[in-house]
Structure 1
Amino acid sequence: MAEAHQAVAFQFTITPEGIDLQLSHQALRQVYLSGVRSWKKRLSRLKNNFITGVYPASPSSWLFVVIAILATMYTRSDPSMGLIAKIQEHLPVSQSLSPQCQTVVSAVLFSTLLWLSLIFTMRLCLKQLLSYHRWMFEQHGKLSNTTKIWVALVRIFSGRKPLLYSYQGSLPNLPVPAIKDTVKRYLESVLPLMSASEFERMKSLARDFESGLGNRLQWYLKLKALWAANYVSDWWEEYIYLRSRGPIMVNSNYYGMDFLYVTPTPIQAARAGNTLHALLLYRRKLNREEIKPWLLRSSVPCCSYQFERMFDTCRIPGEITDTVQHWQNSDYLAIYHRGRYFRLWMYNAGRLLSPREIEYQIQRILDDPSPPSAGEEKLGALTAGDRVPWAQARKQFFNSGINKRSLDCIEKAAFFVTLDDDEQGMMGNDPDGSLDRYAKSLLHGKCYDRWFDKSFSVVIYKNGKTGLNAEHSWADAPVVAHLWEYVLATDSFQLGYNEEGHCKGDINPNLPKPQRLSWDIPQECQEQISESLEVAKALADDVDFHVFPFRDFGKWQIKKFRLSPDAFIQMALQLAYYRDKGMFCLTYEASMTRLFREGRTETVRSCTSESCAFVKALESGEFSQVLCYFERLFRQACDKHQHLYRLAMTGAGIDRHLFCLYVVSKYLGVESPFLKEVLSEPWRLSTSQTPFQNVELFDLVNHPEYISCGGGFGPVADDGYGVAYIILGENMINFHVSCKHSCAQTDSHKFGAQIRRALLDLLALFCPDQNEPTIAGNPQTKKDL
């Protein structure tokens, strides 16, 4: 499409002799090839929609049913029990067909109806089977006979070779929990966090809500659950993300990092070539639905809805609420470099540019000496500041002319790319500090060199390091992590580089140059850009970040103790927070609900009575030879955490149900003291595990250095911590800790040291001879801190 936009297909001039028509065959050829590519994509999408629509059956099964019905008819039996004859009587073309043809047509129609009925029945059966979740509460290797039969039936009804969206029609809807169950679990979760008088007061509010207003609100939720695919997701997206009027930078967006120890090439343009090519290869697989659906325990499918808006998507600011707009298959990228914006066409002659060609085009942008126009350099700050000023500026200054065309180019691009002049990554002279700066750079950059509204922005640094910043409203981190793992693996293990560090392949020197976007930004708009930048910089400067890899032990060691690695880490976080603050707090851990259609997340309240009892016992100073006492308390705390995690995954969580009840109360205009107090409670410890999904793409045994550092997010509460972690391989856990400098009671480095100490202390419970114990105030540990 690049030449179709930048070349003139034909010219004509009027002369005394008539009209002189000049055709450009090269330009017409580009238009033709681009059209062919577009129609191929449409046909592929149509084919996939049909295959997904008849799943778990296959299109070929229709032919099998037709042949089977016709064969039985020729044996003088009627499998339709007279229905074929009834169809034959009402055929509208019966006058023009012979009796034999009428019989065949009627049999084909009956076979088609039978086939569709079988598909509907299989889907209904699969949907009912996927509503069974008792398997999740059973131990690995100790499944009940009921669960074993269930697994066999799921595999039978699941069909073969599913596409990415094949299971969508068979996934169950998210159930609405009973009011009494949610209230009971809520009270249980706040019991260790409240005094006796506070708890009695909250119990009274909860009891009044359960017996009164709660039942009325519950009926509205049940009504919504009958017709909506998911009674939570649309309200969650709108009220938690899109209606937020504060900056999304730091507060909502999150980031993902490059390899921790490896930089495949130090050449910025070359790294961009492979990375951008890999991203578009992933989009091709996504459009063709060639990405395998995520299956738990190799049998249970998860919702793939969030993949739909990964590319060609942008958040559009509004004065009351933002919107998420998605376009179809943009052929170009929007690129930022040294204050200038460019459009880079990624297809030529109907094909995707090779990595070497992309490198060539990126180098052209890097070598472009033109300065930014007035107001252009820091334009992106509008997306980093408050939403209302951005919405007003967009409406006033970007509603027509070249500004609208250039803004449309950015918003409709496949994704956004920043060519950063800084060098980031783990530096040898300051490994700890360099990782902290790397995290802050990906989270907010200079506050104007990212387009925070795009579904994701890729950052390519001067020394070849990469990373991305993702907008949160359209999807959650595991979906973006799946994309990023594919890109990192494809870049290093499939595409690769030559000996000089350049991308492999040849260059087409006739590629059109990247197009510089034009702007006409008035002084009034420039003033608004400066105001937004001031707001964004104050927010960015306040973020305190600490990223550190924990290498003392990992998943392998934890599983030897028959413990969940996630529960182990969560208990370490509880111990670390108690040591840091001398108290417990409401703790948020994100859990997915993608076992249900359009499921997103649920909250696991990791601070429980069991975890508090363990931490208090451990910190009581009564450390003695009886380690089995602490081990028993610790296992009880881990078991409780696992139980809560499973409840959250199976639709029996607390917080999304209470959130939706609160939304209904606002629609009805009624106040609930109970819901108001619950929804105002701060999450001073917000945690999330980034799952490592594409394990088959990485060879961590032979290439252990090719591991990502994971990603992180900003603090949720002004006086709290945000902790993201990723379990890599068997012997490594990476942590990303954030807080705010403005809170004197928080310090990311201090809390990171507490996490490390807590992990080693928990290991000492099970391996007392492996390390010197540091439990309950060991003087050596205190000195290290």
Structure 2
Amino acid sequence: MAEAHQAVAFQFTVTPEGIDLQMSHQALTEIYLSGMRSWKKRIIRLKNSVITGVYPASPSSWLFVVIAILATMYTRSDPSMGLIAKIQEHLPSMSTQCQAVVSAVLFSTMLWLLLIFTMRLCLKQLLSYHRWMFEQHGKMSNTTKVWALVRIFSGRKPLLYSYQGSLPNLPVPAIKDTVKRYLESVRPLMDDTKYERMTKLAEEFESSLGNRLQWYLKLKALWASNYVSDWWEEYIYLRGRSPIMVNSNYYGMDFLYVTPTPIQAARAGNSIHAFFLYRRKLNKEEIKPVSLATSTVIPLCAAQCERMFNTTRTPGEETDTVQHWQDSDYIVVYHRGRYFRLRVYQAGRLLSPREIEFQIQRILDDPSPPCKGEAKLGALTAGDRIPWAKARMKYFSSGVNKRSLDCIEKAAFFVALDDDEQGMMGDDPAASLDLFPVLLLNCWNFPHIVYYKNGKNGINAEHSWADAPVLSHLWEFTLAFDSFQLGYNAEGHCKGDVDSSLPRPQKLSWEIPPECEEQISQSLAVAQALADDVDFHVFPFQDFGKGKIKKCRVSPDAFIQMALQLAYYRDQKRFCLTYEASMTRLFREGRTETVRSCTNESRAFVQAFDGGEAADVCSRLFRTALEKHQLLYRLAMTGAGIDRHLFCLYVVSKYLGVESPFLKEVLSEPWRLSTSQTPVQLSEMFDPVNHPEYVSPGGGFGPVADDGYGVSYCVVGDCMINFHISCKRSCPVTDTHKFGAQIRKALHDLLQLLSPTQKEPSKVEESRPEVKKDL
């Protein structure tokens, strides 16, 4: 076959005259360059491992310690207190001077390692202290003042993973604290009878089974880096058998008001090039570690960055697996039902944006039809997981289908070229945004970029391998580098020249039997029904932003959360269990935690405000609700959340084969309002002052409950808040546009309540600056 012939570096035949050897110099050259590139990456990773392993010290500090010890020896003083002499006694026979030098070097090395261990231990203890988040400005405790020494132990110029070994482990909360906070969180949602019943279940659990389950969790916390993350990935994501297209995928969108070029291939050329530059920086660990927005260095865990590229979710009948491969030098491009393998490295170098544009245009101009059964092949990944796992094993485990599927799954990332146009356009530009998310969610299940005919693009990712802030940083780097660093020429094409001798992108081949085509049709029907049932409403709120909210001396995030509570109550005439995503990346391998935003305090405020109570009463209740929200948010960030703890207790109970009525009921409660703040402008490459039009509306996700809403929002600059609302069309009581109108009204009502003329100070705003959160 053509693919096999292209992979052969040399051929030989046996003739009567001897062996006729024919070698392909081009193939051998590619093999040599590929090997060199691989070895360079290994050397870089080894070097970075050494630098990260000794952080916050540096490898060069070893030489300083050795020289210092040798210098003291020449002054006839013994800083080792006899240890150098002890080491010298056990050295093999050599000259006395040589023994003295070797023993001094060995002692210096041990001293250096001890100093590193001590510094890392001190840094870990400092990073374990979180009381600073709960203190007010001007009232810093002496302990927090000492804690500020974290900057001394933070080192200089850290690599991406430099802090990983110093991050603390996620603590296991006390059973009594978790049960108490849980009962408090469900009180506004239950009448007296239901609450009394739940209280009895909770007390029985706490006094009996809970302590036994807690013992196992504490044992795991001593052994594992994080007692939550591996179970969370496996049981929440990978063991889910329903389609991941809406249930586990999330998306990010292009600029709202700017399209850098209307040429589809050119936009793909620049941004694909930027993606690979980011991957290069990632491999070299040159990306600056993400820290909290405070005056000192509080690093966040970067473990999720390891699987950003070359990663896919492989289906299984019982559970899926996340597979990560070494760096590949190609991407897979989908266009009009066909799949192409596009190499982005040639002769050991990354193709220029203009060359990638040239190759993408070749794919767009390719007139060849899809193979039989190929056009809708991607529907297998969007349907139920068990049929996809069975089909993968039966039809894609050997032959040409296996080679083509391996090519897709091992690609650096996946690209789709769409013949539609997207963005703010037409007679109703705002309404046109509502179609964008549905198309982005209907994709293969690893980092997947879609380029539209008019130059717009978007990104889709699957949740099991990483949370949104990780992808957001990559996406913003790509958008910024595309627009501000690479740019386009006057005609809208990528800058630079083209090597027209580049080999054409390779079209993948498939042999799809009729039985597999039937399964593809069934999966397509499931995916299409799911996509058609999801209703999205995306809108930028520009009446005001965090600038005016902060003038009211309140937290923008807490303000928006209270607006969502008010809007939901007006929309549904009731309160519901509300999920707000927070992060636990202050801890090693931390991911997310839940802030239960519907509280007794928020309920009291909403009822008073919607019931027409006096403004001063509503203002007081509102600030009390904000303070409670901020407290819950900080507790969640510092490992004192309740939902991940209850989830892990439930997993242990299943392993032990015991039933807990309390845990069973807790884990079955629906999240009818699932919310998250999408982090934006994590990249320092944006200039919101000089280029305010370069703003992305962020991204979003599908609804968690069939009768609920999914709300993602991002606070952009001082004057804009972007909202992404989702729900099921099949639910008669939910409507994204109706809910969006309620959100707008609630935001205006709350700002009117808290006008800047009010002088009452807010403990919320007086607390430490809020930090960016996870999706």
Could you give the per-residue CA deviations for residues 318-371 of structure 1, whole angstroms, max 9, x where no partner exists? 000000000010111011100001110110111111100000000010011000
The AA in structure 2 aligned to 1:169 is G
- Equivalent in the alignment of 1:659: 647
- Equivalent in the alignment of 1:67: 67
Aligned: 1:183 with 2:179: yes
Distance 1:276 1:114 in 2: 48
Could you give the per-residue CA deviations for residues 31-89 of structure 1, whole angstroms, max 9, x where no partner exists? 32222222111111110011001111100000000001111111111111111111112
Distance 1:274 1:173 in 2: 40
Distance 2:5 2:334 in 1: 21
Distance 2:487 2:361 in 1: 18
- Equivalent in the alignment of 1:207: 203
Say whether the 8 Å CA contact 1:3–1:348 is kept in structure 2. Answer: no
SS of the aligned residue for 2:244 comes to coil
- Equivalent in the alignment of 1:471: 462
Please, which of 237, 241, 253 is the counterpart of residue 257 of structure 1?
253
Distance 2:139 2:514 in 1: 70
Greater displacement, 21-30 / 699-708: 21-30
Say whether the 8 Å CA contact 2:472–2:682 is kept in structure 1. Answer: no
- Equivalent in the alignment of 2:677: 689
Q: Residues 636 and 55 from structure 1, CA distance in 2 versus in 1: closer, same or farther, beyond 3 angstroms?
A: same
Deviation at 1:768, TM superposition (A): 8.8
RMSD over equivalenced CA pairs, Å: 1.6
Deviation at 1:103, TM superposition (A): 1.1
The AA in structure 2 aligned to 1:479 is V
Distance 1:63 1:264 in 2: 51
The AA in structure 2 aligned to 1:636 is T
Task: Give the 5 Å matches for 1:316-465.
Answer: 316-444=314-442, 450-452=443-445, 454=446, 456-465=447-456
Task: Give the 5 Å matches for 1:249-328.
Answer: 249-296=245-292, 297=294, 298-328=296-326
Aligned: 1:163 with 2:159: yes
The AA in structure 2 aligned to 1:228 is A
Distance 2:280 2:77 in 1: 49
Distance 1:769 1:580 in 2: 30
Distance 2:756 2:611 in 1: 19
Please, which of 96, 111, 115 is the counterpart of residue 114 of structure 1?
111
Deviation at 1:479, TM superposition (A): 0.6
Aligned: 1:134 with 2:131: yes
Please, which of 726, 746, 768 is the counterpart of residue 738 of structure 1?
726
Deviation at 1:9, TM superposition (A): 3.8
Please, which of 108, 121, 124 is the counterpart of residue 124 of structure 1?
121
Could you give the per-residue CA deviations for residues 252-311 of structure 1, whole angstroms, max 9, x where no partner exists? 101000001111000000000011011111100100001111111141111000000010
Q: Residues 486 and 3 from structure 1, CA distance in 2 versus in 1: closer, same or farther, beyond 3 angstroms?
A: farther
- Equivalent in the alignment of 1:728: 716
Distance 1:5 1:16 in 2: 25
Identity %: 79
SS of the aligned residue for 2:633 comes to helix
The AA in structure 2 aligned to 1:496 is G
Could you give the per-residue CA deviations for residues 110-167 of structure 1, whole angstroms, max 9, x where no partner exists? 111111111111111111111100011123565334323211x101111111100000
Distance 1:741 1:504 in 2: 45
Please, which of 703, 708, 717 is the counterpart of residue 715 of structure 1?
703
The AA in structure 2 aligned to 1:64 is F
Distance 2:3 2:270 in 1: 23
Aligned: 1:543 with 2:534: yes
Say whether the 8 Å CA contact 1:558–1:565 is kept in structure 2. Answer: yes
- Equivalent in the alignment of 2:762: none
The AA in structure 2 aligned to 1:662 is Y
SS of the aligned residue for 2:460 comes to strand
Say whether the 8 Å CA contact 1:3–1:512 is kept in structure 2. Answer: no
Say whether the 8 Å CA contact 1:246–1:385 is kept in structure 2. Answer: yes
Distance 1:3 1:354 in 2: 25
SS of the aligned residue for 1:250 comes to helix
Say whether the 8 Å CA contact 1:126–1:158 is kept in structure 2. Answer: yes
- Equivalent in the alignment of 1:668: 656
Please, which of 590, 599, 609 is the counterpart of residue 581 of structure 2?
590
- Equivalent in the alignment of 1:83: 83
Distance 1:85 1:746 in 2: 80
SS of the aligned residue for 2:536 comes to strand
Aligned: 1:154 with 2:158: no
What TM-score, normalized to structure 1? 0.94
Deviation at 1:16, TM superposition (A): 4.2
Distance 2:755 2:129 in 1: 39
Deviation at 1:11, TM superposition (A): 3.9
Aligned: 1:33 with 2:21: no
SS of the aligned residue for 1:603 comes to strand
Say whether the 8 Å CA contact 1:486–1:697 is kept in structure 2. Answer: yes
Distance 1:189 1:704 in 2: 40
- Equivalent in the alignment of 1:777: none
Distance 1:160 1:684 in 2: 46
Say whether the 8 Å CA contact 1:4–1:31 is kept in structure 2. Answer: no
The AA in structure 2 aligned to 1:667 is Y
Task: Give the 5 Å matches for 1:433-582.
Answer: 433-444=431-442, 450-452=443-445, 454=446, 456-582=447-573
Deviation at 1:28, TM superposition (A): 2.8
Distance 2:565 2:396 in 1: 49
Say whether the 8 Å CA contact 1:3–1:27 is kept in structure 2. Answer: no
Distance 2:137 2:539 in 1: 32
Could you give the per-residue CA deviations for residues 474-499 of structure 1, whole angstroms, max 9, x where no partner exists? 01011111110100000000010000
Distance 1:675 1:522 in 2: 47
- Equivalent in the alignment of 1:216: 212
Distance 2:266 2:415 in 1: 14
The AA in structure 1 aligned to 2:308 is M
Deviation at 1:17, TM superposition (A): 3.7
Which runs of 5 or more structure 2 residues have no equivalent in the other structure?
Answer: 759-775
Distance 1:568 1:101 in 2: 71
Say whether the 8 Å CA contact 2:477–2:683 is kept in structure 1. Answer: no
Deviation at 1:24, TM superposition (A): 3.7
Distance 2:7 2:314 in 1: 31
Could you give the per-residue CA deviations for residues 524-578 of structure 1, whole angstroms, max 9, x where no partner exists? 1110111111111111110011000000000111111111110000000000000
Q: Residues 618 and 370 from structure 1, CA distance in 2 versus in 1: closer, same or farther, beyond 3 angstroms?
A: same
SS of the aligned residue for 1:315 comes to strand
Distance 2:393 2:23 in 1: 41
Could you give the per-residue CA deviations for residues 633-688 of structure 1, whole angstroms, max 9, x where no partner exists? 11111111000000000000010000000000000000111100100000000000
The AA in structure 1 aligned to 2:122 is C
SS of the aligned residue for 2:465 comes to coil
- Equivalent in the alignment of 1:143: 140
Distance 1:539 1:141 in 2: 53
Distance 2:134 2:497 in 1: 55
Distance 2:404 2:170 in 1: 41
Say whether the 8 Å CA contact 2:552–2:756 is kept in structure 1. Answer: no
Greater displacement, 75-84 / 385-394: 75-84
- Equivalent in the alignment of 1:227: 223
The AA in structure 2 aligned to 1:72 is T
The AA in structure 2 aligned to 1:395 is M
Q: Residues 291 and 695 from structure 1, CA distance in 2 versus in 1: closer, same or farther, beyond 3 angstroms?
A: closer
Distance 2:747 2:130 in 1: 32
The AA in structure 1 aligned to 2:636 is A
The AA in structure 1 aligned to 2:159 is L
Could you give the per-residue CA deviations for residues 748-780 of structure 1, whole angstroms, max 9, x where no partner exists? 00000000000000010123999xxxxxxxxxx
SS of the aligned residue for 2:217 comes to helix
Q: Residues 494 and 440 from structure 1, CA distance in 2 versus in 1: closer, same or farther, beyond 3 angstroms?
A: same
